[in-house]
Amino acid sequence: MEEIQTFGARRFEGKTAVVTGGAGGIGSAICARLAAEGARVVIADADEAPANELARELRAAGFQATASAFDLLDAGACAGAINQVLAEHGRIDVLVNNAGVNRRGTLLEITDAAWELSFAVNLDSLYRLSRLVLPAMQAQGGGAIVNTASQWGISPAPGHIAYNVSKAAVIAFTKNLARDYAPEQIRVNAIAPGEVLTPMVEAGLARSGRTVEQLDALVPFGRVGRPAEIAALVAFLASDEAPYLCGSVVEITGAQAVA
């Protein structure tokens, strides 16, 4: 995780936020940003150890954070986790559906298992978590859901059909959910990042022999994105500073075309 920062703004004071994939590169930055702005952050991740470690780091910095380790593919585990959050905090103001997987391959290369996993994590988990959280948001008079889509869900990259199509479905899901629940003051938006320098991307570069500088050269802005920059956009969309943003898909790419 990048260095924990503090911010003058306290846009999430008294609010509870659940972030899936919360211990990952982008997820941990989102958790840190929301916590630094006053949220009670629930770090939802399948990997218990890093989720617990991140929660400890955030608490040591003076923020409110707990870890919730469960499998997004297990409907019962999802229900149990959300019920626990509601029992402890009484409300869920922000849901960030950030967890995702990227399985490579063209249609004739990808396996059935990789295709099914892509949709199970990238789309079905949004369906499952949103259904669990929406009744609480309805009861409290509103809330915000931010979904992590991808630039590739808008302009597909070659050789990634399962990822591209599942992220395109995230965009459609976001717009449908927003249209249905905007009348109840539940705002649903999506972000569509381009390349972001996460530990996973860095590991991929190391395996391929490519450098960060080579990746940066593909971006008109001069470099790839940073997790903290994605987190800042998520925080804005989830905050009361974006009261009329609903059903939007915001690209954050440094003006990069598809990699």
- Catalytic residues, by residue number, are 163
**Residue 14, number of CB atoms within 10 A of its CB:** 11
- Residue 12 in 3-state DSSP? coil
With beta carbons less than 8 A apart as the criterion, state whether 166 and 123 touch.
yes
94-97 and 40-45 beta bridge pairing:
unpaired
Look up residue 153 and give its two tokens.
């869900």
Question: What is the dihedral angle through the alpha carbons of 181, 231, 55, 88, rounded to the nearest 10 degrees?
Answer: -20
What is the enclosing helix (H) or strand (E) of 86?
helix 75-89
Q: Which amino acid is at 181?
A: Y
- Residue 21 in 3-state DSSP? coil
Q: Which is nearest to 86 in space by CA: 145, 132, 148?
A: 132
With beta carbons less than 8 A apart as the criterion, state whether 164 and 189 touch.
no
Question: What is the dihedral angle through the alpha carbons of 53, 30, 116, 154, rounded to the nearest 10 degrees?
Answer: -160
